[in-house]
Structure 1
């Protein structure tokens, strides 16, 4: 005959004796866990009563009805969120690592000139209305992703591949941001778009070498054009300045010659008038004035008569009279 297990019986006795206390403690623990909720400083708490919206609570310690009667969802309304398209961030930090595998279905799109472009972008947004975010649109995150894809395909489809890949990237991002915000307002999903950033835009891998060659040729063409314009801007203004200087010098020379000629003509006219009044006196005066200018420039001087018979004394005309 087996001996009775007194230890087991003792434990059963203790359990039966303290069952109510254990049950009460368990109920109290469940009550605390299901009724006390902490909302973070960047969050809002949306309280639902039996599945329906009841109220919105602010950050801090909050209390709701326990045992699932009320449920709280925490919405990060003060935090900037983001969605990535065409790639995913594997590890963020000083050297961020990205993964681009198996995302061609969302990044490969058709441009307006029927070419393909591989567009990778980031949508940065905030939740500004937690009620609309939870109840106006089913699965607002997925809806935003679908809207972002549709908006980007529309914007890229209105432009050529060269615009998307080169000069039009900023315009694509701006147009995408405006269009996506308009769609969010129309759907009333409680989301505000902060920024759309084009992470990378490339041609498909199969045509990338050809495109790079074309792009390099275009860059070389732009470089040559810029060099030609620089040379033009350096030479043409200098040539125009030299031409202007030559014209001004010619005009000054012409004005000087005209003024000199006008003065000489006036002098000749006045001299002619005096000559008409007294021809002999004028001729003699002109002769004397001319000799007065010429004789000081001649070295030795000997004066003879017309036949060379009589020699006049030497006149030292080089000495000036001392006062």
Structure 2
């Protein structure tokens, strides 16, 4: 087979004619792509012209001076942001995964009673002023992280380890939120703190068994105290009720005896006055009233002659009693 050589002849005039158009088209294309910026619905665009703030644009399609004369910083002003301390979220899903290694220095803190505790927390915040966020503070996110860590260490350092681990957790979070917001206002970094959440608070790993033993002992102590108080509330009111009942019965008995004694004294005085007026009549009336009370209590009575010596008639007394209706 024979080899054929192909030669391409380029016309210099054609290159001169279209090269300028190609360069101009490429220049216009670059200018077009570098001048159009899209701002998302949750963002604001801060336009900087030659390193100086120029304007703030709203979400949508926006045009800028191309070739780097104007640059845009997109700030998520409508989105809630967060910073994590002492851990990082490696996989955010329904069952999120967290990484602890490498972040212990952030969370290890000294409490007011000179104990160590491992405090993990989350700061949730929003950017309210994009201009202040970019230009009032250098590297606002890192500054916020430093302020958050400083505020948490201050609040934890004012409390005991038991307060931080148990009953004082909500108070610690609220105090850090207030202090951190005050610091943001002083720095004018354009950030509003939404919430500070204590994710987890634990004693350091080497002393965790001792802390757990102390907590268990405290819980047992509280249980015994509650049981004692329950027993106290059950027994003491009943004893007080019984004592009150005894006192009331004694008072009633004393009142009854006093009233009865007063009545008998009045009766005796009345009888004495009647006796003084008519002694014989009164003695006769007293005798008859006394016999009226005594005789019904004696039962059957056998009256015999004092000269009767024969006891045989007395042998059938029981039959006579039985024969009576």
Change (3 A) 1:15 1:308: farther
Query: Displacement of 1:245 after TM fit?
Result: 2.1
Return 5+ residue gaps in structure 1 as ranges: 310-323
Query: Displacement of 1:167 after TM fit?
Result: 2.2
Q: Which runs of 4+ in 1 moved over 6 A?
A: 12-17, 302-305
Which residue does the alignment assign to 1:129? 129
Structure 1: distance between partners of 2:16 and 2:239: 113
Match of 1:207, SS state, is helix
1:105 equivalent in alignment to 2:105? yes
Which residue does the alignment assign to 1:55? 55
Structure 1: distance between partners of 2:28 and 2:286: 142
Structure 2: distance between partners of 1:263 and 1:169: 74
Query: Displacement of 1:17 after TM fit?
Result: 6.7
Correspondence list, 1:109-258, <5 A? 109-258=109-258
Match of 1:93, SS state, is coil
- Across the two proteins, how many residue pairs are aligned to each other? 306
Change (3 A) 1:30 1:255: farther
Query: Displacement of 1:304 after TM fit?
Result: 8.2
Q: TM-score, normalised by structure 2?
A: 0.84
Which residue does the alignment assign to 1:291? 291
Match of 2:56, SS state, is strand
Q: TM-score, normalised by structure 1?
A: 0.84
Change (3 A) 1:2 1:267: same
Cα RMSD over matched residues? 2.8
Which residue does the alignment assign to 2:270? 270
Structure 1, 125-134 or 213-222: larger mean CA deviation: 213-222
Match of 2:66, SS state, is coil
Query: Displacement of 1:141 after TM fit?
Result: 0.4
Structure 1, 247-256 or 146-155: larger mean CA deviation: 247-256
Query: Displacement of 1:217 after TM fit?
Result: 1.2
Return 5+ residue gaps in structure 2 as ranges: 309-325
Residue deviations 1:19-73, cap 9 Å, x none?
5665555444434433333322222221212221112222233333233222221
Match of 1:206, SS state, is helix
Structure 2: distance between partners of 1:278 and 1:13: 174
Correspondence list, 1:297-308, <5 A? 299-300=299-300
Which residue does the alignment assign to 1:5? 7
1:93 equivalent in alignment to 2:93? yes
Query: Displacement of 1:302 after TM fit?
Result: 6.5
Match of 1:122, SS state, is strand
Structure 1, 286-295 or 246-255: larger mean CA deviation: 286-295
Residue deviations 1:105-138, cap 9 Å, x none?
1111222222211111111111111111100001
Structure 2: distance between partners of 1:98 and 1:251: 75
Residue deviations 1:277-307, cap 9 Å, x none?
11111122222233344445565466789x7
